[in-house]
Structure formats: structure tokens, C-alpha cells
Structure 1
């Protein structure tokens, strides 16, 4: 009961994740697979910006949008260029394909690129010049810019921002970044370069860069102030870094607690499954496999559909029903006779007529499928051609009746208790898989991949414990093992029938009685071939009795013809803090560009 409730809970959580994920995908017609920005700072404090995005569209769009926010009216955007897949786009107001417009509305510069797409991936590059990017103070120069604004409604994948100063060997260079705490900032003083990288930037989140460096680097900058702000900015950033590091520490602690909890849960699941099984009496009886079952020459005292279910542990299929008809024919309940071969359904597959002999069969509650077939015509008989000519409505009804017949035959085999979570092999292996899943998620939470080897050994140990427990607490009853071994031994005998001298078997084999089982086990062609290799036509007519007319071209043609026709009728309807390199800080240092963003239209 506990395992079932746990399984239902996991299924519910998984379904919720799928639902939320699906809604998220359907909300957007595209994703942004990479977002790279290269910024070259010039000596006058302005910047040349190269912003390249890779879109992956799921549907149609008329074009692309991007807006660059500026600080105030004094800051301007000039020298714009747009490229799609490295091909230039023309600036004009025609709204023709591969053109773009650029307008200013207050403190927003808006690009509108006309380029129809339909399920395509494309790369777009915006190039432009911004003035007043850097401000020179008496004691430092400052760049404070939300390079990626918060007006993106999609997550941005593979984000990389590179800021190049106009000089190298900038010993005074410090940089801080603000945004998602998973980001990383690299400060290269020798190259005069700062790189911000982020695997994924959440939707509606900005990425801000805050740089301090010697004002001599931007010596020609006219955007300046006589204030001394360096100490104040450093203190501000130290406070933000402290807050971010505290948040990271808290996050790591929560991850470690979660990881520890998952380790306990995972280990406990497996131990619980073992203890639950260990309460059963010791039992080492298991049925033989199909390959190892010893030959059995005794015909099973079971209906063919039940024998098929016990042999393969599956619900009886159309071959089992074909074999069931042969059973009924041997019991004089029905008659099966070949029709004119020239009127056959397919080459080498003659037509057959199945006729009712015993009227009591029409009242047997377990034969509703056969009763429906006998009611297809005015007389209680049907041919394989009748099956092919059924209407869609009748095929659907036939499929439902066959499904009911198959389930009923499967229940009679009484092997449901050995399937699903009722079977210890399934419950133990499911618990072991759940344990390993918990171990893996725990390592992801804690980010402690050095524990992989240790947890791998624990997992192997649990697998060994599970196997030992299973082998010593078999779920199989003694009488069920005997029945399964009898059926599987009969199967292996028929499968190896070509190795025997059938004449030497003598009276050990009643060939007329084994054919239904050979059909149910899909071994009829092999058995027919062996019979023709050992007996003459006259002898076959004797040993096969009423089944002999069902042979055609040295094969048991009825099995193939009926199964093909019946399957064709039901298959359509069957179910189944210092400014050096480091992590991002939260909050903001108040940089311009916060309203920047984009998308498609």
C-alpha cells in the first residue's frame, strides 16, 4: 500500500511538471538558444556594440523585435546595422522582407526587423554605437549598464557578454555583475577584459555589469564629474556581494539538506522493499526459462489459451484464438473446412469456412466472440473472406469482444499475482531504480560529484542484496511452478522437434492433439516441416486426422490464413566583494538599459 501511494505521488508530481512545462512551451513560439554580446569601449567613453542572438522558431513569425534602453535624452544610439544569418538587412520604412526600422520613443530605441520565418532557426546581429557608456569621475571611471534588460519574456540560453577596454594591463580594473546567482564574472586585467557568462538567464531578468577602472583608460571622455565616488561604489558592491554570498550559502545549505533527505529516502525505499519481502517464508522455487526448460512430451492438461499465457506470461493473442478454434474442432463443436484454393485470399493462403456443429456453443458465456462471428451471416458459419469484408463498425465490435476473450483467458491462467508490483522482482527493481534516481538528484543538489564512486558502490551493494533476497523468497507456488514448467517444457520440445526422429517417438506423441499448441506457440510451421520430413502423405492423413485437410503446400496453412485475416480485422481498433572574478550578485547597481528587451512579432 505504501509503495502504491508513493508511486501515485511521484506520478502526480511528474504530471504536474509535464503540465507546467507544456504550458510554458505553448506560451512562446520561439526559444533563444544563444545570446552573445561583444562591447568595445572607446577612449571617449562610448561603445561599439555587437549583439548576436540565435532564435529557434516553433511556428510562424513576421519578424523580430529589439529595443535598447538609454539613460536619458543625452545618450544616443547611432550607426546601426542589422544582419540575419550574416546577410545585411536594409534600413528603410517599406516593411519589405529583409528590411528594418529604427525609431526612438522616449528613452527607448526600437528595432523592428521584417523577416518572415516558419519553424526556422536563424541568427540575428545588431550592431550600433552608444555614447556616454562610461562616466569619468575624479578618482575612477565607471561603466554601469544593464546589458541585457528585463523585457525578455523567454529564458535566454548560453549567455556570454564580453567587455573590452581600449587599453590592456589595466591594474585598477574591478567588475561586479548583477542578475541570476548562477552567473560568473571573469576579470582579465592584463587584457583589459571582463567576461560575464550564464548558462541560462531567466525570463524577465536583467544582467548588469558594473566596472571601475583608471579614468586615464577613457582619457578623451567628455561625460565626466568632479566627484570622488570610488570608495562609495566599492562599499555598495561589497554590501551587495555579501548579500549574494549569504544567499548562495543559504541555497547551498538547503541543497545539502535536500540531498541528505533524498539519500535517506532513496536508501530507505530499497531497505523497505527488502524487509517487506523478507517477511515471506523462504522459497527458492522458480519456473524454468523457455531456453532451459527440459523437454516434456506430455500434452498439457490446459486449454491452449491458458497454456500460451503460462508459457509467455502475456495476454493471449490472435494465435491463441486460432488454436482455440482447432481445439473446438477436435471436440466436434465446430467444423473447419478449406474452400476452393482458386478463390483463396492470398497466394498460398487458401480460404476456410468455420461452421457451427454443436448449437450449445451459442449459449456458452465464455464464447461471446465466437457467437458474434457465427451471427455475421444468416447461417451459423463464417469464412476468412467474411472477416476481410467487415464494416468498420463490426471490426470495432469484434476487437472489443476479442479483448474481452483474451482478458478472460489470461485471468484463467491465474498469473496476475506474478506480474507488476505484485512480483518481487518488479518491486525490488523499481525500488532500486528509485533509490539510484534519489542518489543522482542528491548529487545534483549538493554538487558533490566526488561522491559518485561511493554511491555507485552502495548502489551495487543494494543490487546484490536485492538479488539475494529475491532468490531466497520466490513468489511462486509449488503447483504453479509445476504447471509453468510443464508448458514451457512442451514448448521447448516443439521448438526442437526437428532434432528428433518422429517415428521413434511412436505413441508418445498424438500429433492431432499437439497442433493447437503448436499454433498457439507460433511453432506450427516448424512442426509441419518436421512432420513432412518424417511421414508420407498417407501417414500424415492417419496421424493428423481431421487436421490433415487444413494443411496446404506442406504447411499448416489454416493457422497463417486465419491469423492474418483475423488480425487485419481487429488491428485498427485494438487498444494497448572585491571586484575580481567571481559569481554574480543579486540586486542592482542602478545601471542604465533596464528596459531593453526583444522578441518576435
Structure 2
């Protein structure tokens, strides 16, 4: 008959009612996961505009865009303009069988239209359009042609002449033309537009037009008087990233990338009227009016450009500043949580029970888990002589490891130790003397009650500190972290959707969310001084276990730690670090077994690894027959410009002549 205090055996029903403590733990864990899932869902939803449309488009939807558009426009002395437009279609998820090309032409001024396909070797093949004519319904020129294309790029060249494209005033000639119109419903990756102005003909070679007859062709010889620097002013309207440059005084180039669908690229060019002597003239001045309007548009574009740069700069600042600010809040929280009278390193365990230490430390790290508590409890029972480990088979490579019960549970001094012994080896008729580490057998349904008793007992001895850590009150640092992160994410969404910062603003959302998650994990609950002292003492002893190899007399310390403090290394989740240091300082063959009864030397280290891996499995198997309702604790570990220099686009305009559009299908 064993001696010791006796506690009656109570048969528990298969389903255990949830205790208030268990409900609190579940609520706390549930709130944490709900908060994390909310942040994840928030990131997914607000960044959907970035990743979802391209995925759908590229995966299933029939689509195309223009990878390159080159337009070469030549102004003639009679005010007509000859255009050669080369468009590269990038087809995806075809098939495509037709396309159409439109020019906004209410006065029916488009003539000499033709289509050719440009092959890979640079040669051209003429294309006969299905139709190409002016439409009184749409007040524009329309052309359509047929082909077969699927998942490939094809390039077509459109050539045509527009009559009376230049407006001639008494003091200036003005080419105001929409080279890319808003009729294209797909984007253009890059567009390059080159405009050539004519030389001035000799006097008397041309007579001015009296009316605009598109069928009249230019007759006469061109002169040799060329434009000089300062004679021409050029402006660009459209996307603010566009650039206007002068190749020479008679050649203006517009270069723009990422032209959105339904957008336009427009040129406005002023030059002396004598260079288009055969053009239709008006008897009114126009220079000052046009320049005044361009100044207004340029000022508006510059203001938008400055706002764009400011918003973009703020995004870049916040992308760096949010993680830095939240890291500083983490440091502030740790500074406020310091306990001056606790040293940085403690060489002795700060508490008597490593099982409770494991529970407290895992709660402080933000993931209350009994896994290391299982291991620490088994090692504690081994150090008390209550259990031993036996190797079956060869010592160096055992087939199995067995835990052997050496004393009765009632011989142990604490109820927690007794409950764990019953959990491992059973109780009453279900009690066994040995259990296999590799092949543990399930206990009866009442084992879940024993597990609950052990888990509750471990937590009750922590004096409520784990509950205070988990529950935790909102503190200054975590509140500020949430305000900063949510504010930055909101600004990123605003500038990407409604502002001018562009898509880069979306990056603030995941950066802010991830920074906030990390900060909330690192910023612990604000505890009282006694609770903080207890945690900091555990942290100081953990530091000692992690870094003892740097201390004097490290080999002797390694032996002491391996033989006496290994359960604390397990409890504080530094067992692997301790083992590496011990093996580096002490010959493995001389190491005693860390578990009573297990082999020594290398075989003992092997047995230790096996125990580390399988110890939680033993507990899980012990309550495997319990119903799902009884589980608890959890398992698991435009600027404008003039002259010859060039400049950027302005955002105004939109009223120029021309304006192309079209589509494919």
C-alpha cells in the first residue's frame, strides 16, 4: 500500500462543461485569431485592385493592349498633315478576327487612307480593309479589316492625309491635334510621336486657299528657308509623364509611357504662318489667346505634378517611417516594462517549478501553449525519480523508448504531479506500469478530465498572471501603433484610389498591416511591477541558458546545466541552443543521460532528441478517446515650354483636331 495524501477517484462524463477559465482562454485565443484574420482580410480586400484584375485578365479573359505606338506626322505648306501610325497589338487569350480604326473627323477631311501589316523582317504587306469611309452617323472616319490572331503580337501601319489640319492666324500658325484619341478602350505601354514642320517656300510659289477642299493636292516646289531656334513653341497635353523635345527646330517629338485606356495624347505647336503659305487663313490674331490658354493649362499641370510628387513622397516616407515608428514603440514598451532590480543574467532558476515557468513564458510570448509544459513536466517527474526511460533494442539505435513508472502517483507531493502521472499511466483498472514513447496507447475517456485537472492546476499556481498577460489592458504603445498603421494604410488607399500618388500607395496597406501585427505581438500587456519582475527574472535566466558558453568556466557550467537545468531549458524554449553549446564544450561520450534510466553518451543525446519530438504525442494519445468537447489548452507550437529646350506635358487640352480610336475582337 502506498502512502501519501489520498484523493477520491471521480469518473468524469465524456463531455466536460467548459469552465470559466477555459472559456476565458478560448475567448482570448479567439479574439487574437479574429484580429489577425481581420487584418489579413483587410489587406486582401484593399489590395484587390492591384492583383485581381491582372490575374483574371491573363488567366481567362480575352484581352489585348498596345505595346508600342509610333506616329510620324508631316505638315505640308498647304496646312494638310500626312500621318503614318504604326500600332503593335499584343493579343492574349484569343482568337481575334477583326479590328477597326477610327478618326474623329466631323468635316470629312481624311483622305488617302491605307493599311499594311508590318512583318518581323520589317517588310510590309498591303491589307484590304472590309470598309474604309466617312460615317455621317458617328461624324468620323471608320475602317475595319479582318485577320486571324491568338496569343501573339501583330503590327499594322495606317497611313492617311488630313486636310486643313493647321489653323493659320495673322500672327501665328497653330497645329492643335490629338494624335492618340480617347476612343481606344485599352492602354498603350509606350507612344512616340514625331511631328515634322515644313520649310518656308519661296515667295510666289503657293497661293493661299480660299476654302478647304480635301481633294485638292499640294502643287509646287518647297523652298529652302528653314525654321530657326525660337521660331517654334510646342506644348503637350495628356498624361503628366509625357515629355516634349525638339530634335531640331522643325522636328518635335512627344514621348509618353503608360497611356491609360480612354485617355489622349495631344500636341499644340505654334510656328510662323509663312511656313504654310497655301493654308486657309483667318484675318484674326491668335497667338496671345493660345499662349494664355497654354499658361493656364501649364500652371494647372504643374500644380498637379507637385501634388503628385508630394503624395508620392509621403508614401515613400511612410513606407519607411511606419515600420521604424512601430519599432520605436516596441522599444518604448520594453523600456517602460524594465525592472531595474532584476539583473540581465541570472545563474539560478528564478522559480521552483519549470512547468509553471514554461506556462508563464509561453503566455508572455503571445502563444499560450502546453507543449513545452508537457516536456518540462515529464523531465520533472524523472528528476523526482517518479519515472525512468528505458531503451528497447540496441543502445545506439533503440527500436523504442519506454517510460517506466517507478512510484505511485499518490506518493508525489503536489496534485499537479499526481494528475500528470495519472494522465500518463492511467488510474485504477486502466493503470499501466510502462508506456511506449513511439506507440503510446489511448487512455479511457476519463483521461480528459485528468488532463483538465492537470492543466487547470498548473495555471492556478501561476497566481493569475497568465490571465492578466492574455487579457491585458490597452496600453499607450499598442494604441499608438494601431493609430499610425491604420492611418498610413488609409492614406495609401486614398492616394491610390482618389489622390495622385498612384499605385505605389497600395504598398502602404500590407506594410502597415504586417508592421502592426509584429508590433502587437512584441508589445506585451502592461503588467504590475511584481508580475513584470517575475517575467524579467525568467528572461534573465533564459539569457544565461542561451549564452552560458561565453562565460568563464563554461565547460563546467555545461555539465551542470545539462544535468540539472535541462527541464528549464525546455520550459523556456532554449533546449536546442543549450544542447549546441554543451556539445561544443563537452565530449558527447562523457555526458550523462538527461533523463533517468536512459543511455548516456551519444545514445543519450539521441534518446533526448526522440523525447523532444514525441513527448507531446504521449499526452495527446492519453486523451485521444476523449470527446471533442473536452479539449483545452491546445496542441502545437505639365509644365509647358517654349523655344528649343523641351519640357513636360500639361493636363489640359482635349479639344484638338483628330483623335483616333478603335478596337479589336
Instruction: Report matched runs for 1:431-580 at 5 Å.
Output: 477-493=532-548, 499-501=554-556, 509=560, 512-519=563-570, 520-523=573-576, 525-526=579-580, 529=583, 533=587, 540=592, 547-549=596-598, 551=600, 553-564=602-613
SS of the equivalent of 1:584 reads coil
1:260 and 1:128 map into 2 onto residues whose CA distance is 42
Instruction: Report matched runs for 1:273-422 at 5 Å.
Output: 285=340, 293-294=344-345, 296-298=347-349, 300-304=351-355, 306-307=357-358, 310=361, 313=365, 315=367, 321-331=374-384, 336-341=389-394, 348=397, 350-354=399-403, 383-386=436-439, 416=469
Residue deviations 1:13-65 (CA, integer Å, cap 9, x gap): 8666413434554574468585442314164744342435585x8x6333597
- Of 161, 172, 194, 2:193 maps to 161
Distance 1:554 1:383, change over 3 A: closer
Distance 1:568 1:535, change over 3 A: closer
Distance 1:66 1:148, change over 3 A: farther
Quick check: 1:175 aligned with 2:241? no
Is this contact kept in 2: 1:102–1:112, CA < 8 A?
yes
What's 2:26 paired with? none
2:439 and 2:402 map into 1 onto residues whose CA distance is 9
- Of 184, 190, 193, 1:152 maps to 184
Distance 1:331 1:263, change over 3 A: same
What's the RMSD between the two structures over aligned residues?
Answer: 6.4
The normalised TM-score by structure 1 is 0.60
- Of 6, 9, 18, 2:47 maps to 18
Distance 1:597 1:548, change over 3 A: farther
Larger displacement relative to structure 2 (491-500 or 123-132) = 491-500
Distance 1:78 1:497, change over 3 A: farther
Residue deviations 1:481-522 (CA, integer Å, cap 9, x gap): 33321332244337869832469x8xxx48654232344422
The structure with more helix, counted as a fraction of residues: 1
Is this contact kept in 2: 1:259–1:441, CA < 8 A?
no
1:525 and 1:578 map into 2 onto residues whose CA distance is 72
Instruction: Report matched runs for 1:186-335 at 5 Å.
Output: 186-187=245-246, 190-214=248-272, 226-228=280-282, 231-232=285-286, 234=287, 237-238=290-291, 240-245=293-298, 247-248=300-301, 251=304, 285=340, 293-294=344-345, 296-298=347-349, 300-304=351-355, 306-307=357-358, 310=361, 313=365, 315=367, 321-331=374-384
- Of 588, 592, 600, 2:658 maps to 592
Distance 1:525 1:175, change over 3 A: closer
The normalised TM-score by structure 2 is 0.56
Larger displacement relative to structure 2 (297-306 or 148-157) = 297-306
Distance 1:527 1:192, change over 3 A: closer
2:543 and 2:174 map into 1 onto residues whose CA distance is 83
1:536 and 1:253 map into 2 onto residues whose CA distance is 73
2:150 and 2:300 map into 1 onto residues whose CA distance is 44
1:559 and 1:306 map into 2 onto residues whose CA distance is 21
Distance 1:354 1:535, change over 3 A: closer
What's 2:159 paired with? 129
Deviation at 1:255, TM superposition (A): 7.2
What's 1:104 paired with? 132
Q: Structure 2 stretches of 5 or more lacking a match?
A: 1-35, 136-140, 200-224, 443-447, 502-522, 621-633
Residue deviations 1:497-551 (CA, integer Å, cap 9, x gap): 9832469x8xxx48654232344422464476489749868xx47xx6x524154
Is this contact kept in 2: 1:512–1:547, CA < 8 A?
no
1:177 and 1:517 map into 2 onto residues whose CA distance is 73
2:470 and 2:57 map into 1 onto residues whose CA distance is 47
Is this contact kept in 2: 1:37–1:50, CA < 8 A?
yes
1:560 and 1:481 map into 2 onto residues whose CA distance is 29
Distance 1:238 1:552, change over 3 A: same
Is this contact kept in 2: 1:332–1:358, CA < 8 A?
no
